[in-house]
Each structure stands twice: as C-alpha cells, then as structure tokens.
Amino acid sequence: MVTYHKDPEAVARLTSQQRRVTQDAGTEPAFQNEYWDNKEPGIYVDVVSGEPLFASTDKYDSHTGWPSFTRPLEADNVVTKPDVGLGMVRTEVRSAHGDSHLGHLFDDGPVADGGLRYCMNSAALRFVPAAELEAQGYGAYRHLFEKEDA
C-alpha cells in the first residue's frame, strides 16, 4: 500500500506558479492553465504528494476556465475547510496528505451528478494519462477507463 505525504523534494521542484498555488493558496489565471480544457482520459494527482485526487470521468466543462470535477476520485485524499479570504466565504479544497491548496468547492455543479463543482488549479495537479496508469503506479484506477465488452 502506498503512503502519500508532503514530499520536501517535490516541493523544492515546484515552479513558482505551482509553489504560489499549492503552498501559498494562490489561484492561477482562468483559461490560461494546463488542464482547463484537457479531455484526455486519466487521473489527476497532487503535484506534491502524488495522491490520487480526481478522474477525467468526473471532469466537466464548467465554463470557468479551470478544471472542474463533480467528485473526488478518493474522498479520503481531499479535505475542505472554510476560506474567508477576499471578503467572501468559500470552501477551500486541499489534498489530505500533501496539504496542497487545490482550489475551491462550489454548489453550482451539474445537479444530476450531485450539484458540486470542485474547481481546481492546474498548477496543483499532475495528469496521469490512462495509458500510463500502470507504469506510474496507479494501476488500481485502470478499470475506470476499460471499455466493457458488449
């Protein structure tokens, strides 16, 4: 079983944008980030700890310019807490084991999928394509992308 944690070496390798977002609770510009329009199958993991966070199967176009998901891939890897910064009350989303700021949770997501929108920063995520799940140690999630025989 893999144990995820905040990896000091991973933190040291962060770009200035990744550090600002994950360590200082920043936000990257809308429509100017790596994954907002990514439609490839795969999973998104914490750039600091590697813990699995979201799957492309739960990703949708929220028209906000950030990657948005209806639910976490692993609920235990995502924590929320109140955020009263910028003069408003929001719900911050952080990785449970890496303690990375990921983004915010809103209640304006697709109703049919539970009504939640996990609005994430690409800078906090690393995308693992479905074809590379086994090689990168995430083979347990391969079933999400296998087509069922008719």
pLDDT band at 150 (very low <50, low <70, confident <90, very high): very low
CA gap 102, 123 in Å, rounded: 8
Query: In this structure, how many other beta carbons lie within 10 angstroms of the beta carbon of residue 140?
Result: 12
Q: Is residue 7 among the annotated active site residues?
A: no
Q: What is the pTM of this model?
A: 0.94
Token pair for 73: 């891939």
Over residues 124-148, mean pLDDT? 94
Average pLDDT taken over every residue of the chain: 94
Q: Of the residues 102, 119, 123, 125, which is catalytic?
A: 119
What mean pLDDT is predicted for residues 124-143? 97
**3-24 residue pLDDT tens:** 899 999 999 999 999 999 999 9
Q: Is the pLDDT of residue 81 over 50?
A: yes
Q: What domains are defined for the chain?
A: 8-130 (2.170.150.20)
How long, in residues, is the chain?
150
User: 35-52 b/e with 16+ CB inside 10 Å = b?
Assistant: bbebeeebbbbbbbbbbb
